[in-house]
Amino acid sequence: MICYLIVFRFSYLLLIYLLISSLCFTWHNGGPACFRLCLILLAFVSICLTIRLKEVADFARDLPVTEITPRLDTIQVKGDQISFRGRSHGQTYQVYYQAKTEQEQQYFTKLDKSIRLTISASVEKAETNRNFNGFNYQNYLKTQNIYRVVTIDNISQIRKTSKWDIGRVRRKAMLFCQTMFPDPMASYMTGLLFGHLGASFDEMRASYSNLGILHLFSLSGMQVSFFIHLFRKNLLRLGIRRDWVTRMQLPLSYIYAGLSGFSVSVVRALLQKMLTHLGVKSSDNFSLTSLILFVMMPKFLLTTGGALSVFFAFVISMLGGSFASLPSCQRKISTTLTLTGAILPVLLLSFYSFQPFSILLTGVLGGLFATVLVPGLFLLFLLSLITGIVIKEVNYLFVYMEVLLRWLENLITRPLILGRPSPVIFLGMLIMTGILIDSWRHRKIRYLLIVSLFLMSISTKFPLTESITIVDIGQGDSILLQDRLNQQTVLIDTGGKVDFIKRQKWQEKQTRPNAASTLIPYLKSRGISQLDTVVITHTDADHVGDLMVLLSEIKIKKIMVSEGSMTNPNFVARLSQTKSDIQVAQVGDRLKLFDSYLEVIYPLTQGDGKNNDSIVLYGTFFQTSFLFTGDLEAAGEAALLANYPTLKVDVLKVGHHGSKTSSSDAFIKKIRPKIGLISCGKNNRYQHPNQETLDVFKKYQVQVYRTDLQGAVKFEKKGKSWHIRTVK
């Protein structure tokens, strides 16, 4: 596994770990064994390098796409936005298209026959992460062997083809469920039988995620066990020989894998079941399964789902019969606790949080899903498919279940946000987990390792250095000031979307808030579960629009607003929905932070909550002065200078995203910043920052950092000064 990750996700830490492991192996087993290991590793690394070189070559290919064949089971329609994966020139592409008419949208919504599209389109590389610890879409697509994103401008021709594949059958099955059954039952049916959760499930997806049980919808051993057991039991009852049943299991496994979208967890579970029936047991079963998976899906370990699935299987194979002597109930509890602890490092690396109640809920609901929902939904699907009879009354059970789950979500605590472990901590947690599994029978060592693992887990919640981060939230502002060990956390603005386009009903879609994919994941990765102060500089949507979304995930002690903002009734109504203390900012108010204070120096009088009424904050931290100006424009800058004629600044958060109306020549000439920070969206409609503003900065030799070009910008304290890092 280490060799695999070194090739596909190289880091010097992994290389050092491999060298140390090799030395330990040599010392423990002697030279001949080490030589054999080296030969095996050499062969394995050679295969990995061959795959990696092919990936590099495919990534370098940049061909125009004029025709493309959609993979039917990947089509998703959300309002007027259509996406799917398609094949062209022997390559797979991720495709996006904005439907021009409602008829076109409905065509793709109901499409269940293979087609080939003649198109005019742009082809480009996918976006990499724009925030620290952010989701890297380009790397994710690479794990699916996709190296380009196609954005269709126009479809000139649609031709039907006679091509058949298992994905077409899956698409027909999913459309059948969505057409014949009411929601939410249809969502559970497509999710638990075919591994597809549509847009209608988005709201409940968040609830399942907060409860830590979203994995129940990941097709794996639960569904595989049910279908394989049902298949074998019925054939054996018909008198078919056991060896013939095992042979017939192979095509069934392929069909079910195809109906599930060939997910890693299903393929892994099917392989293990097949090998078990062929007499391959325990660790040999896991090893052979992993080898076959590597041949079939070389990048299976690079996805979170694949890594968790394989890691689960590994821990189970290593545990063997460790809990066999325990009573049934105690055995289940011990196994669940051990599995949860074992996958904790991977959970923290990917999701930064852990829901303790998920252990209990998984035990209870896992049994319900396995023994009631999966068999029941399968029977309802078959009944409707064969006879056309739909028992819609069953839908009430799912409605009541969702009501109960929402009640539980409000009752229990939020997930524990522990942060993203550093590479050293993560590797240490994996080593501790391995030793823990190996030494489980030794009680004293077991408890010592459990305590050590717990301490390493919570250490990620308390970063050792101070930092100031301009989070890339697109067109808007959001700035995090985080003291060491999370002693104080201040967030200036939350960001948010401004939607100028009036859409027809068919064009509307449930859009994910900006903060859900940018700000909130970054806060969680830094171990932040509570913000001490959120400063809302003014009431524009791109500064405050995601406040309620943020509150749904992160607690906020205090919200600081300007006096003028309180004249906006919509903003006041939104504040009344929060449980946070509200402070109306006055000039001279201070927030204790780092080695000094963050001080309010503007607005001087009550305003209207707009740009020139922005709260302006000033602070000198570790001999460097910072000025955060919100959307302050030239008139506000002049008023600020009139009240603070000797104001000097090292780092300026540029007002109003670098627009023409801010950062006047007189203002920059007077404060003489060394660094200017511009927060604006990539290719934004306003064309921020304005070239005239950039010319002013160039004139006064101000070094400019822009989130649209460089992604998030972070100041980290190292020694006695700040060091600057950017994502790009």
Section 130-153 average pLDDT: 94
Least confident of 21-35, 152-166, 173-187, 188-202: 21-35
CATH topology match: 67-163 vs 467-726: no
**Can you tell me the distance from the alpha carbon of 470 to that of 713, in angstroms, rounded to the nearest whole number?**
5
Residue 705 pLDDT more than 90?
Answer: yes
Confidence of residue 6 (pLDDT cuts 50, 70, 90): low
| Residue 112 structure tokens | 């269940």
Q: Is 653 left (phi over 0), alpha (psi -120 to 50) or beta?
A: beta
| Per-residue pLDDT at 4 | 56
Q: Is the peptide bond before 689 cis (omega within 30 degrees of 0)?
A: yes
**Look-up: residue for tokens 């789902």?**
305
Burial status of residue 61 (CB atoms within 10 A of its CB: 0-12, 13-18, 19 or more): exposed
- Whether residue 475 contacts residue 680, with contact meaning beta carbons closer than 8 Å, is answered with yes
Helix (H) or strand (E) holding 531: strand 530-535
CA-nearest of 583, 573, 523, 525 to 548 is 573
CA-nearest of 645, 646, 600 to 619 is 600
Residue 527 pLDDT more than 70?
Answer: yes
β-sheet bridge partners, residue 149: 94, 124
Burial status of residue 417 (CB atoms within 10 A of its CB: 0-12, 13-18, 19 or more): buried
Residue 38 pLDDT more than 90?
Answer: no
Query: Please, which residues have CB within 8 angstroms of residue 450's CB and are 6 or more apart in sequence?
Result: 341, 436
Q: What angle do CA 457, 461, 465 make, to 5 degrees?
A: 125
Secondary structure of 143-207 in the HEC alphabet? Answer: HCCEEEEEEEEEEEEEEECCCCCHHHHHHHHHHHHHHHCCCCHHHHHHHHHHCCCCHHHHHHHHH
| Per-residue pLDDT at 24 | 60
Residue 134 pLDDT more than 80?
Answer: yes
| Residue 636 structure tokens | 């506000």
Burial status of residue 464 (CB atoms within 10 A of its CB: 0-12, 13-18, 19 or more): exposed
| Per-residue pLDDT at 316 | 79
The 10s digit of each residue's pLDDT in 50-95 is: 878 888 888 888 889 999 999 999 999 998 999 999 999 889 999 9
Query: Please, which residues have CB within 8 angstroms of residue 570's CB and are 6 or more apart in sequence?
Result: none
Q: Is the peptide bond before 569 cis (omega within 30 degrees of 0)?
A: no
Q: Which CATH class is domain 67-163?
A: mainly beta
| Residue 139 structure tokens | 């790397």
Q: Where are the domains of the chain?
A: 1-60, 67-163, 214-320, 467-726
CATH superfamily of 467-726: Ribonuclease Z/Hydroxyacylglutathione hydrolase-like (3.60.15.10)
| Per-residue pLDDT at 715 | 98
CA 617 to chain centre: 32
CA 165 to chain centre: 30
| Residue 56 structure tokens | 């590099």
| Better pLDDT: 320 or 646 | 646
Q: Is 717 left (phi over 0), alpha (psi -120 to 50) or beta?
A: beta
Section 340-369 average pLDDT: 86
- DSSP state at residue 372: I
